Chain A
Amino acid sequence: MKGRQVARPDNMSGDDTAGGPRDSQQAPLLVAPGEDLGDSGEYSAGHGVVAMNGRLRAVKQGRKNTQDGTVSVEPRRTAYVPRPSDLVIGYIEGCTSNIWFIDIGAPFNAILPMSLGPSKAEFGGIRKVLDIGDAILCRVQEVEENHSSVVTMKGMGLRAIRSGTVEEIDPHLLGRLIGRGGNNLRQLKEETECRLIAGDNGRVWIDGEVTGMVEARAKLNDLLMEAKVAEYGGVA
């Protein structure tokens, strides 16, 4: 029970998480829920941090980041919480005569009213437009207090997804997937000759020739593995 190996902080500056594998050179400062992160007078509380009794406290487990006067924790896993204007990939789970219910990977399904859908349907014909099990690319229009949301397909590029495959990654890794200025994503598209769209809910649409898609998926998995190593020294 002695000699526990715990990650040592090498430097506290922490930087923007949207970098690639280069970040793995510094030992990350890992924190656990309940850990004290300093005085709440000096810094403000960002994601994964709350101010309690004059102190900042981590409420999530992950890597501590200090940037622009805010201390936050980049967690190993985040449940997707929809925000207005998020681009998301969803699946039709059900419908009434004029509303579709969409699974967007959040605690609650989103609603897509027919008026915001791809086209108007005749009465009783809503499933001819979008059927149960169909996949769509849509945007979050508004979010209620309890995180249930309304999505829209009115907008550029928003459409039903009829080919390809959708992979899921943890939303907080999107930065790594996309890369600075979109570099990583662009490189992946070129190398595999696939269309790639990353939704803010962690769902990634890949479309192209079968061999290209297989390659894209493999590279995606490699990237996720690298991210785990960078964040935690190799433990999932």
Chain B
Amino acid sequence: MGIPLVPKLLRAHLAELAENDSRHDGRGRFEGRDLELEIDCLVRAEGSARVRMGDTIVYAGVKFQIMTPYPDRPNEGGLMCSAEIRPVAGRGWEPGPPSPESIELGRVVDRGIRESGCINVEELCLIPGEKAWQVILDLFAISDDGNLFDAFALAGIAALKSAVLPAERYEIGEDRPLGVAKTPVMCSYHKVGGRFVYDADKREELGGDERIHITLGDDDHVHSLQKGLKGIFTAAEFDEIMVEARSKCAELRSLLDQKLAGE
């Protein structure tokens, strides 16, 4: 990604908005943008979801392959997460090998999902030492207006939870759901104008400072954390957003459950 110019005016304006408890698009400090969540939208994928947060739009697709288990884990299948932000997603995204930003995105989302244990890799084993399912989650951004982290994380878990193992195509038996019992959810907070806000858009990201990503499980257990970009924050600031994250993650979790139940 090319390094964008940060106008000084933007930073100053975001600071005065923050002092006034305002955001440039009129949202509340911990208010998210309009959210759309669609499941099963890609017919060639075994699990899929599309998430729109404001003008940020991403797809997640689950594909299955047969793998040979690793020698030191003969009874386990695998999970691989790959994130791509192609140039389609914005003026600033350039073609070429994955940028550090997109690599970080993929890995942070991966950790949140993996560490929750929501995928039981032993259940993916078909023949110990010989054959196992590999779950591949591809995260694909098509419009970047900020907060790709949360959009990817939500689309990712939604796609996994609605995925179906294509046993018939591989002639191994009947198709069955992948069976993801847990729902890790990520919430990201960006320091804008001196205070953390939820669901920063591109402009806030451009004029803001550090960001913190929190993935929580069903029982508020913490599954991953990441602080990104330059900046300093206090324990009190962190506590404040952790409280917010608990309620926001619960809200998103229940929205996802509704969608999966067909509402």
Contact = CB atoms under 8 A, between A and B. Distances in A.
B7 A133 contact: yes
A132 B9 CA distance: 11
Given A93-B5, A133-B8, A218 B26 contact: yes
A153 interface: no
Q: Provide the main secondary structure of the chain A interface.
A: mixed
Interface in B3-18: 5-10, 12-13, 16-17
B197 to A, nearest CB: 15
Contacts of A161: 9
A210 interface: yes
Contacts of B13: 164-165, 213
B194 to A, nearest CB: 14
Interface residues of A, number: 20
Interface in B159-176: none
9 contacts: A132-B5, A133-B5, A134-B8, A135-B8, A135-B9, A163-B9, A164-B9, A210-B22, A214-B20
Given A133-B5, A133-B8, A165-B13, A217 B20 contact: no
A186 B12 CA distance: 26
A91 B11 CA distance: 14
- Nearest first, the 9 closest Cβ-Cβ pairs linking A and B are A165-B13, A210-B20, A133-B8, A135-B9, A91-B7, A93-B5, A133-B7, A210-B16, A214-B22
Interface string A119-156: 00000000000011111000000000000000000000
Contacts of A213: 13
A135 B9 CA distance: 7
A162 B10 CA distance: 10
Contacts of B20: 210-211, 214
Contacts of B5: 91, 93, 103, 132-133
A112 interface: no
A99 B160 CA distance: 54
Contact of A210 (B6, B7, B10, B17): B17
Nearest to A217: B24
Interface string B100-124: 0000000000000000000000000
Interface of A: 91, 93, 103, 131-135, 161-166, 210-211, 213-214, 217-218
Interface string B42-60: 0000000000000000000
Given A210-B16, A210-B17, A166 B24 contact: no
A131 B8 contact: yes
Contacts of A133: 5-8
A57 to B, nearest CB: 30
A129 B171 CA distance: 73
A165 B9 CA distance: 6
Nearest to B6: A133
A131 B22 CA distance: 28
Contacts of A134: 7-9
Nearest to A93: B5
Interface string B176-215: 0000000000000000000000000000000000000000
A131 B5 CA distance: 12
B181 to A, nearest CB: 41
Given A134-B9, A165-B10, A218-B26, 15 more contacts: A131-B8, A133-B7, A133-B8, A135-B9, A161-B9, A162-B9, A163-B9, A163-B12, A164-B13, A210-B17, A210-B19, A210-B20, A211-B20, A214-B22, A214-B26
Nearest to A161: B9
A166 B8 CA distance: 11
Contacts of A165: 9-10, 13, 24
A191 B15 CA distance: 24
A34 B27 CA distance: 43
B62 to A, nearest CB: 31
A218 B24 CA distance: 9
A132 B20 CA distance: 27
Interface-centre pick from B7, B9, B10 (highest chain A CB count, 10 A): B9
B9 to A, nearest CB: 5
Interface string B18-42: 0110101010000000000000000
A35 B178 CA distance: 52
A133 B10 CA distance: 9
Contacts of B24: 165, 217
